[in-house]
Structure 1
Amino acid sequence: MSESPSPVRVEAPSPEVPLKPLGKVMAVTSGKGGVGKTFVSANLAASLAKRGHKVLVLDADLGLANLDVVLNLYPKVTLHDVFTGKAALDDAIVRAPGGFSVLLAGSGMVEYSRLTPNVREDFLRIIGSLLPRFDMVLLDTGAGISDVVLFAVSLASEVLVVATPEPTSLTDAYATIKVLVGEQHRRIVRMVVNQTTRMGDGRAITTQLQQVLDRFVVSKPGEKVRLVHVGDIPADVAVRQTIMKRQLLVQHMPGCQAALAIAQLAAKVEDFLIGKAA
């Protein structure tokens, strides 16, 4: 194997000091579970890889990781092994179906479900080593606003919130965005609405959430938060079919409506994430 690029040094600030988000890292997160966040992360990565980018998805849901299940992978080495020094980072990076790489967490990492100084340092060390190797790094975070989730999101220059049209999903998405603005001073949050049933639903939902944010949430005095709608993924029977078979939708049913929507999402992500890193 050729010599690896030198890792990027990422300093670990005190908990009171906000992290400086990293240019080509995007966090894919959600207010609640079950909205298709990992499905979006995996298929988006495959679409970006198809566009010629070297992409890695890091499973940042340390307690309830399931990226391996979605991709039908059985890793012998996981992020846990790297954190504990039992394996090298290169041994844990796995080639996934769809032409991208993954760093899988392994489920049930109870000791990493809280943001201890060791977890912070491990995360920073891993991210710093990954950045020189990939065009884009997607962080598939856990759902909600735990300290581990918020720390993972803080490492990213861009945040993609996945929601569905269900009221509970939208309420939790709003709560998540409110925390990201309040604690991380986010001024732009991007949103994709999954499982839509009518064209335009996602844009209408995003507009409604924007109106609520305009009334109740500000990043800094005088600065409004901008919620950017980047796409809808329509409800599609093909999604369930591929999930049950543990296949990537964009790879096995690329012509279906949901796969085409993800391809459009990938084009937008390419524009704002690569442009920011340049």
Structure 2
Amino acid sequence: MTDQAAMLRKRFEQFHNPKKQRTLAVVSGKGGVGKSNFSLNFSLSLKLKGYSVLLIDMDIGMGNVDILMGSQPSYSIVDYFRNNASFSDIIHTGAGGIDFIAGGSGLTDFLDMGENQLARFFQEFESHLSNYDYILFDMGAGISTDTLHFILSVDDVIVLTTPEPTSITDAYAAMKFIHLQKDDIPFYVVVNRTISILDGKETYQKLKNVVGRFLERDIINLGAIPDDQNVAKAVRKQVPFIIFNENSQASKALTEIADRYCKQEFADPQENKKPFMAKLKRLLFER
């Protein structure tokens, strides 16, 4: 009953206030840090707070968001680029009522499209994005020139790392690459698979120090997710861990991270912010 009341309040607020849409990209240095699992569960946490969310799997050729929630979508993003599927066709509803677009291997075809095809993409994409409060892009491991356009167009970048030294190094490399292209994108850091609270704090501090020293900028700490057996069990069951066991340590940490992100006082006023699609159009037409 309390959850239903909160949802109704949220919908009432959204009805009486202009929608303040945010776009996010979740990145990591390399694979194996739990990026897609975080993206899915973070999106679900936002959804449970009453926000409308679209999760787009951009892991080219290795997308697994649909697998993590045991879904078998009829169409993926590949079908839009190769088989003339519409955006309505490729948007599916998965576990917890989350809307998502499954990944595939067609993004390189997208970058090779002509102006007429790009115009179709922009028109359909933009009309659907206006339905959501948050649009989250689960980027592939590492950063390629193919996916950089999307990262440079979003409002915020969430960088996922683990306490392992190689993961920290890779996370810094990813931030450096993005920073050199556009130095005003906010970096939010989440430390995954920590063994203690101190473990998470120390990992974040290491990244903060190296980014401050070499890039002369700050990063924002969203929090840490403990190494929790419930996460592995949920993956095997193909159920998001925030649904599998909402009282697990990982689920509680994830909820706190989503709370912390939603409470951020964003520096860029919405009325002065250039929309995501405007930035993406400019980057793609200039490529």
TM class by shorter chain equals: 0.7 to 0.9
Match of 1:116 in 2: 111
Kindly state the Cα deviation for residue 145 of structure 1 after the two structures are TM-superposed. 1.9
Q: Deviations over 1:186-205 (max 9, x none)?
A: 35311000000011322222
The total of aligned residue pairs comes to 248
Kindly state the Cα deviation for residue 275 of structure 1 after the two structures are TM-superposed. 8.6
Are 1:255 and 2:250 counterparts?
A: no
Kindly state the Cα deviation for residue 152 of structure 1 after the two structures are TM-superposed. 2.2
Is the 2:81–2:107 Cα contact (8 Å) retained in structure 1?
no
Partners of 1:273 and 1:156 lie apart in 2 by 17
Structure 1 gaps of 5+ residues are: 1-21, 218-223
Is the 1:231–1:265 Cα contact (8 Å) retained in structure 2?
yes
Match of 1:186 in 2: 184
Letter in 2 for 1:95: T
Q: Any idea what SS the aligned residue of 2:97 has?
A: coil
Structure 2 gaps of 5+ residues are: 1-19, 271-287
TM-score (norm 1): 0.82
Q: Decide which structure has greater helix share.
A: 2
Q: Any idea what SS the aligned residue of 1:200 has?
A: helix
Q: Deviations over 1:136-167 (max 9, x none)?
A: 11100001121123222112100000111111
Letter in 2 for 1:194: N
Kindly state the Cα deviation for residue 83 of structure 1 after the two structures are TM-superposed. 2.1
Is the 1:50–1:99 Cα contact (8 Å) retained in structure 2?
no
Q: Any idea what SS the aligned residue of 2:202 has?
A: helix
Q: Any idea what SS the aligned residue of 1:65 has?
A: coil
Q: Deviations over 1:204-235 (max 9, x none)?
A: 22222221122222xxxxxx321111010000
Kindly state the Cα deviation for residue 95 of structure 1 after the two structures are TM-superposed. 0.6
Q: Are residues 187 and 159 of structure 1, via their aligned partners in 2, closer, same or farther at CA, if it must alter by over 3 Å?
A: closer
TM-score (norm 2): 0.79
Letter in 2 for 1:30: S
Compute the RMSD of aligned alpha carbons. Answer: 2.4
1:98 to 96, 100, 109: 96
Partners of 1:182 and 1:208 lie apart in 2 by 20
Q: Deviations over 1:218-269 (max 9, x none)?
A: xxxxxx3211110100000101000111111111200010000011111122
Is the 1:158–1:273 Cα contact (8 Å) retained in structure 2?
no
Q: Any idea what SS the aligned residue of 2:155 has?
A: strand
Match of 1:232 in 2: 224
Is the 1:186–1:225 Cα contact (8 Å) retained in structure 2?
no
Partners of 1:98 and 1:74 lie apart in 2 by 15
Between the two structures, name the one with larger relative contact order (CA 8 Å, sep ≥ 6). 1
Q: Are residues 171 and 55 of structure 1, via their aligned partners in 2, closer, same or farther at CA, if it must alter by over 3 Å?
A: same
Partners of 2:210 and 2:114 lie apart in 1 by 35
Alignment of structure 1 residues 149-164 onto 2, 5 Å: 149-164=147-162
Partners of 2:87 and 2:230 lie apart in 1 by 35
1:76 to 74, 77, 102: 74
Q: Are residues 86 and 115 of structure 1, via their aligned partners in 2, closer, same or farther at CA, if it must alter by over 3 Å?
A: closer
1:46 to 44, 47, 57: 44
Partners of 1:102 and 1:274 lie apart in 2 by 25
Kindly state the Cα deviation for residue 77 of structure 1 after the two structures are TM-superposed. 1.2
Are 1:36 and 2:28 counterparts?
A: no
Is the 1:24–1:273 Cα contact (8 Å) retained in structure 2?
no
Partners of 1:152 and 1:139 lie apart in 2 by 8
Is the 2:22–2:133 Cα contact (8 Å) retained in structure 1?
yes
Letter in 1 for 2:56: L
Moved over 6 A (4+): none
Q: Which moved more, 1:55-64 or 1:265-274?
A: 265-274
Kindly state the Cα deviation for residue 274 of structure 1 after the two structures are TM-superposed. 8.1
Partners of 2:183 and 2:144 lie apart in 1 by 17
Is the 2:41–2:240 Cα contact (8 Å) retained in structure 1?
yes
